[in-house]
Amino acid sequence: MSERFRVRFAPSPTGEPHVGNIRTAIFDWLLARQNGGEFIVRIEDTDRARAIDGTTELIIEALKWLGIEWDEGPDIGGRYAPYKQSERLPLYHKAANRLIAEHCAYKCYCSTERLAAVRKSRSKQGGAIGYDRHCRDISDDERQRLELNGETPVVRFKMPLHGETTVNDLIRGEVTFDNRLVDDFVMLKSDGFPTYHLAHLVDDHEMEITHVLRGEEWLPSVPRHLQLYRALKWQPPHFAHLPIILAPDRSKLSKRHGATALLDYRQMGYLPHTMVNFLTLLGWSLDDKTELFSREALIEHFSIERISKSGAIFNTDKLDWMNGHYIREMSAERLAEALLEFWNAYPPPEIPALPSREVALQIAPLVQERLKTLRDAAPLVAFLFKPEIEYDASELIQRRMDAASTRRCLEAARDQLATLDPFEAEPIEALLRSMVENLDVKAGQLFGSLRVATTGQRVAPPLFQSIEALGRERTLNLVQAASERL
């Protein structure tokens, strides 16, 4: 019989989704799709203080941009709705009450001041856990008195006082923890909201989640979760703790290292598939040579067994290469479309108005081989949109040339181009190449001068196509203007 796969991505709406989170989502999705299972999105909004409005929408937008589709989620509902923890409070209370009734949990009335003091004195002793279990064994009378006092309690879980808890992590194998070193952690906060430990566990159970993929930072709290499952007499899911994504200096990736928000990469001109491919490779590999995967190939080949154990640095050089590769792989039509879409969303200063489809189609092949990102395109073709171009006249004069000979070349080119028909790259090239012989100059000399004359730049897209894109009238005017400056 085949195993069931229900995998969930459970982000907190506390900021823009970052690349680490999204990589987890990609792994979740890959696993679900590969096994014909379900991919579920669940919003873990139990921390009211840290919640930021609008971030749930950003998470959804990020997943949509990447083309990751989910089967159940806050926006589309599903059999286990709702998919927002703030709307599932009764479920958590029910579990907490049950645990209290079964003496597996207790109310704690300690003030934050007392907790801080206990923590401080205990940390000096070294090794001791942070909470002294003060309220674990208080008498019923005392409990009643505190209750009457109006103290709003939290609910803590009674960790076993001895023994060990072992998890069989899908990536790291067996990991064992000493129960004595684990606190009686808070399950329910005094505001009535659950902590992550209770909430995610109740939901994973209720939603019949089979595989939990999450960041490595959760590994130390697994004994809490496993003990909670035991107390609730629920079957725990499979766990896989993913390696974290690092900054170039090996510290945790954060804003000061540059872009960490997934959607920033859209704005920087990366293709969604580049992100999916690249992020998947950050922590997973198929073999010793394959790096470029279509989404179908990713779904086919992905496996938890081949996820690596150690953290990986987010290397933008390789990201750039991969993006360039995928841009080059597109048809001219698709690139043109992508460019238009990108320029429409993020209008570049170099281009006064969104070009027509026709113009975009003309631009695409001009820049395709030269792009690392979509953002690189506009500066390369800026000359096409400038009413007049600026450059230092000396730039026109190529090596071993002088003003007079350069001027002769430009005038000859202008005269010839004036009558050329059709005014297209191929005949333009044929014409200019034949001129090279007649004028007794090097190809680089003539072309170099013309490049500066027509684009104002020493570095530009291929000359003949550029001239075609410029059109006869503008080209003639530009070349005329150039020769007059000499």
Partner RNA sequence: GGCGCAUUCGUCUAGCGGCCAAGGACACCACCCUCUCAAGGUGGAGACCACGGGUUCGAAUCCCGUAUGCGCUACCA
Interface of this chain with RNA, residues 316 to 355, rule: CB under 7 A = 317-318, 320-321, 324-325, 328
CA angle 104, 108, 114 (to 5 degrees): 140
Cβ closest to RNA, residue 162 vs residue 233:
162
Chain positions 35 to 54 lying near RNA, rule: CB under 7 A, are 44, 46-47, 50
Our CB check for RNA shows the closer of 1 and 317 to be 317
Q: Least distance from C-beta 194 to RNA, angstroms?
A: 7
Q: Is 369 exposed, middle or buried (0-12, 13-18, 19+ CB in 10 A)?
A: exposed
Closest approach of RNA to the CB of residue 480, in Å: 20
Which of 422, 421, 427, 481 lies closest to 449 in space, CA to CA?
A: 481
Task: Report in angstroms how near the CB of residue 282 gets to RNA at its nearest.
Answer: 6
Cα gap 244→278, rounded to integer Å: 15
Catalytic residue, candidates 64, 94, 120, 255: 255
Residues paired with 38 in a beta bridge: 6
The C-alpha atoms of residue 101 and residue 217 are separated, in whole angstroms, by 32
Query: Site residues for RNA, window 223-252 (CB under 7 A)?
Result: 243-244, 246, 250-252
In the complex with RNA, the residue whose CB is nearer, 50 or 357, is 50
Q: By CB under 7 A, tell whether 175 contacts RNA.
A: yes
Of the candidate residues 61, 71, 132, 183, the single one contacting RNA (CB under 7 A):
183
CA distance 213 to 23: 10
417, 394, 389: which is closest to 486 by C-alpha?
Answer: 394
**233 included as an active-site residue:** no
**x/- site string to RNA, residues 460 to 479, per CB under 7 A?**
xxxxx---------------
DSSP for 405-453? HHHHHHHHHHHHHHH-SS-SHHHHHHHHHHHHHHHT--HHHHHHHHHHH
Place of tokens 């982000």: 11
From residue 56 to residue 95, what is the string marking binding to RNA with x (rule CB under 7 A)? ----------------------------------------
- 445: Cβ contacts below 8 Å, ≥ 6 apart: 398, 399, 400, 401, 409
Q: Scanning residues 368 to 397, which ones bind RNA (CB under 7 A)?
A: 369-370
Per CB under 7 A, contacts with RNA among 89-118 are 110-112, 115
Which of 17, 73, 283, 456: binder of RNA (CB under 7 A)?
283
Residues annotated as catalytic (active site), given as ranges: 255
